[in-house]
Amino acid sequence: MAQTSDIRKGMVIKVEGELFTIVDFQHVKPGKGGGFTRTRLKNVKTGSVLERTYRSGEKIDDVRLERRPYQYLYGGDGEYVFMNNKTYEQVTGNDDVVGDAVEFLKEGMDVEVLFHGEAPLSVELPIFVNLEITRTDPGVRGDTASGGSKPATLETGAVVQVPLFIEEGEIVKIDTRTGEYVERVK
């Protein structure tokens, strides 16, 4: 158990049986009455945001989470298998654990799996991934002056907007946080 004075960004706490990460907090000491702490919490599983206020000295249930490096092996039917490269231990996660990361998840990719005890909670991709363009329409000549973009399908099935000069078969760098094209990889 921790107290409100121990609150810091990135700390994981349990609220009503759910795990939340503290995104932001502010200690407030009004002129009249006791102090309190305003927090902004993000649900670890769903990503929903919650605001909560705690009185000064109130006990909070802090939780220890562990990040472990894993490699994505394969997936299908809503099940995804990851392997620890050091111990060769395999962990299976479902759609809830993988979440939106499935759009850019490629076999053999190194990821971090967030654990609570022995249960996997979520999968975190590297910030940038290099993926091949499998399908895109050719850019129309003359449209490049406007700096336009076109949709392109990646090898993982995700669709992103790319510049008109990008062609099928090229490798592009994608920002996994935003899902946007960054640059062409040579």
Phi then psi for residue 155, to 5 deg, are -65, -20
Q: Tell me the domains of the chain and their CATH numbers.
A: 2-63 (2.30.30.30), 66-124 (2.40.50.140), 128-185 (2.40.50.140)
Residue 144: per-residue pLDDT: 54
List C-alpha distances in Å: 169 to 88, 148, 184. 33, 20, 11
What average pLDDT does the segment 114-128 reach?
88
pLDDT surpasses 80 at 45? no
Going by the DSSP 8-state scheme, the letter that residue 8 receives in this structure is -
Higher pLDDT, 177 or 111: 111
For residue 32, the model assigns a pLDDT of 86
- The CA distance from 184 to 186, in Å, is 6
Burial class (CB in 10 A: 0-12, 13-18, 19+), 87: exposed
Check residue 145 and give its pLDDT.
55
Model pTM greater than 0.95? no
pLDDT band at 142 (very low <50, low <70, confident <90, very high): low
Which two structure tokens, joined as six digits, stand for 148?
């336009």
